[in-house]
Amino acid sequence: MVLKGTVTALVTPFKDGLVDHESLRKLVEFQISSGVQSLLACGCTGEPATLSDLEKLEVIQTILEASNGRVPVIAGTGTNATASTVSFTEAVCSTGVDSILIITPYYNKPTAQGQIAHYTAVADASRKPVIIYNVPGRTGTDMSIDTIARLGEHPNIIGVKDAAGSVERVTQLRSMSSMAYMSGDDHLCLSQVLMGGSGVISVTSNVAPSLVSRMIQLGLNGKVIESRELHEALYPLFKVLFIESNPSPAKKALQLMGVIASDMLREPLVPLREESIHILRGVLELMELV
């Protein structure tokens, strides 16, 4: 699998407390018809922490069926325990996904040595290529570039999704490793691509897939002025989609756009407050998305 371009970190729609597979299929079609390069199932935006293993497998299967081989599908399989991550990864590899995304173990706060042990065990066991996911804002642990580059020497680790909020890290990693660097920060993704990154694994592309995809492709092709114009147009959306905890704003936006049936989340996440909905709707109207 070539890890490049725009990957949408899909929301998981719910209805009446259950996964809404009909809305999920509609979302997949919206993404593919809008030109994204790949889809991520059960990343943080997909609320995997509140999905059972069976629900996660069903979500992954629905996305695989709906995409029908038209774009690669990546599946998030990480937990904060190495043994459960290995076992669930092995199960997911049997579904036909193209790659696996593994979040840094959360709560435990492993040292660099623990991070290397965790990812090495998963990469050894996985029959699909592995992508590291560093998101210190959610896990409480930041992976150093040295650790990421060392893990990049493993033949089954192909890249990193880095949400550490730094453009400088792209240059640092490129000097140490040839692995793909995928931005995990929508508001920084163009800057990171222009510095040599490979693309973005995006929340915003749930809502504006064609615009995000076009911006990233222009950036990858060195079209600085054109890509910057799209970044400036998208910037209000980048900001408003994090006005409250992700994916609450993205789900409300997709509901307002008629892509999914409900903005329901699994507690402890709750739907947007009315004042936030007003702000979100204003941005969507300004961008002619509703």
For the annotated catalytic residues, the residue numbers are 133, 161
Pairing between β-strand 18-19 and β-strand 38-41 as defined by DSSP bridges: unpaired
* Measured distance CA(119)–CA(9) in Å, rounded: 21
Contact (Cβ atoms closer than 8 angstroms) between residue 204 and residue 239: no
Q: Helices H, strands E: what count in the chain?
A: 12, 10
Provide the β-strand partners of residue 183: 162, 200
Element (H, E) at 131: strand 130-134
* Measured distance CA(83)–CA(106) in Å, rounded: 14
Residue recorded with tokens 């163009």: 190
Closest among 64, 23, 20 to 41, alpha carbons compared: 64
